Structure 1
Amino acid sequence: MSNEVELKLAVSPDFAEFLSQALSGLNVISQQTIFLGNSYYDSTDGFFAAHKMGLRIRRENDDFTLTLKTDGKVAGGLHIRPEYNVPLAENKADLTELVTRYDLDKSWLQLSLQAIFSTDFQRRLWLVEQGGTVIEVALDQGEIVAGEKREPICEVEFELKQGKITDLLRFVASLTLENGVRLSSASKAQRGYRLVAGKMPSAQDWLERWKDFLQSSQNMPKPLQKLTALFQFEQDLIEETVNLGADFFAQNFLRTVERVGAFFNLYHFYSENGKLLESAVNEQIESGRLHREDDLMLRLLDSHSRLLAAMKEIIRFHSETKDNAKAMAKLLELLHSAQYVHRMLDLILLTLNEND
């Protein structure tokens, strides 16, 4: 068993050429292109999905690997999760070796497994070394298939092979990214299960969730704890908004007002609570996880100011035009900007736990 640590970006199809150029000036140890076929399995009663695990067989050429990914931690697009791997002699979902080698629950051997969906994609790989840190950069392009339903895959994973998580974050932050990208907290397995279900995620009441955050944050003694909860709120809000899509909000004026208002509340709170940010930064400096010369706080203060101004403009536009679709398109464009990615990387770095 090992912990997989990776940062995931959802990107546009034309990102491949940009990425290749961005990495060309770095110390690329090796690079290759491979095709990966993956079948995901579960029991008839959805045991692995219910326990937030993913079980897959990956085929690379004539080799088969059974992998179990268990529930871990996701912060923005940073994924940290335990992973179990065993080679298979054939393309058959047999848990015997997995359970035996890692001393897992033997009752799993009684599970009746069936293929649920597949993810098939081309992977372009670059292994990059920088100052002792080794990072595998993987551009995946393909599709998720569940019966007759299909969903495209176009994402970049930065996996830490050697070094610290802070090194991984600073590496991605050093890249001059294009617009049309965002940090993604959804794994391929999660997206596959969502495709199988065939249901649009339900929209939460973010006004109530905001009230809950404000109330619960009063009982958080440390600034870093409060900021981490705020960041989690933002992650969840972004992921749901992107998954629902502009069309969902375009159908209803109040729905758009509420969603734009949720982001306004968020950025207004960030802007009005600069002391919270300063205290969290100082807490991380005292722990040795941040350096005093790092201008992270100034970058975040500037980004919060710009985001608040952008939300005020979207609110003005929506109020004057009543155009739900264009207002949401403006919001989604903001969430998919390179500047937003860099801001989220700063927040991950700031809220990173010392035990990560």
Structure 2
Amino acid sequence: MIEFRAVTKRFDDGTVAVNQLDLTVEAGIITVFVGPSGCGKTTSLRMINRMVEPTSGTILVDGQDVRAADPPRLRRGIGYVIQQAGLFPHRTVLDNVATVPLLSGWSRGRARHRAAELLELVGLPAELGRRYPAQLSGGQQQRVGVARALAADPPVLLMDEPFSAVDPVVREGLQDELLRLQDELDKTIVFVTHDIDEAVRIGEKVAVFREGGVLAQYAAPAELLARPADDFVAGFVGRDRGYRSLSFVDSGEVALDQVSTVAIGQPAGAPTAEWVLVLDEQRHPRGWLPPRSTVEGAVTEAGLTPGGSLYQAGTPLRGALDAALSSPSGLGVVVDERGGYAGVVTARQVLDLIERARPTATGAERGH
């Protein structure tokens, strides 16, 4: 657990970066600090490991005042991940990950063995350990940064906008990887971002800061979206917060419909007035044949109409609505956990389910 007790940071020019912060970060969960530029979120994070010293107030980590700890020793016991990874360019990936264990007195063999284990844990192949950071993609470098932060098995992990420099597709994959790791490791994670979508996607608790370093609201994502504390929070989480809140509404029993399907490599049959879903050998959706399509011979992927996003059954309703709205047919394709076709759903079905769920939606917890 991390406690901020009346913590203030005032710089030499008189700027107040953090103003009387009282906040308790619960152990074993992801807490996200979010807000506009200059709101004090990164300063608050960096005071935990004393990379920035508070002007007044107290910060406790597991009941111990961080000011009583030797700063280098304190930092070796707290994992730290920054934007663009901050890897040592002259060291191999394996030696980058082994850095903190070596500083903590581990033997070189033990530290490298631990580093190899962590590369596997974060989803990187073992052969990348022999490469240098410049030989990796941005997403791979960030995974190495996470592995390095976890190398000495710290109870606390600080992450300062770690995914903001990568493209949206890679960023979503890294978020998924972080959530998977947290399910396994149960670390106390403090994560800084300026992106409210990222905050509500990965955070179990979210602290919204306003300019001047003032904590505006601290709540679970569902509560934050449903009941913003004031106009500032409402404006920051955005006018589409109702759509974001669907991430916390369980799909329950979505009544699935069925459509005509055809397998790749099989004849399409006579043209119909309906959309036909095309599946591969594993029954994975590949696209659509529009109404009254005429196909000579067997169906191939060439010429199919892309199908929009897919929705995995049993996950929150935001994905179901997106699948229905992005589909050219107006039918969101639902797949099982193996990606196989399970049925279709319309936007109207999703909206009806939302209406039925409305009394309990604001109390829903985040589900990953």
TM-score if structure 2 supplies the norm length? 0.28
Q: Structure 1 length normalisation: TM-score?
A: 0.29
Relative to its length, the structure with more strand (as a share) is 1
Q: Highest Rg: 1 or 2?
A: 2
Of the two structures, which has the highest relative contact order with CA contacts closer than 8 Å and spacing of 6 or more? 1
| Structure with greater proportional helix content | 1
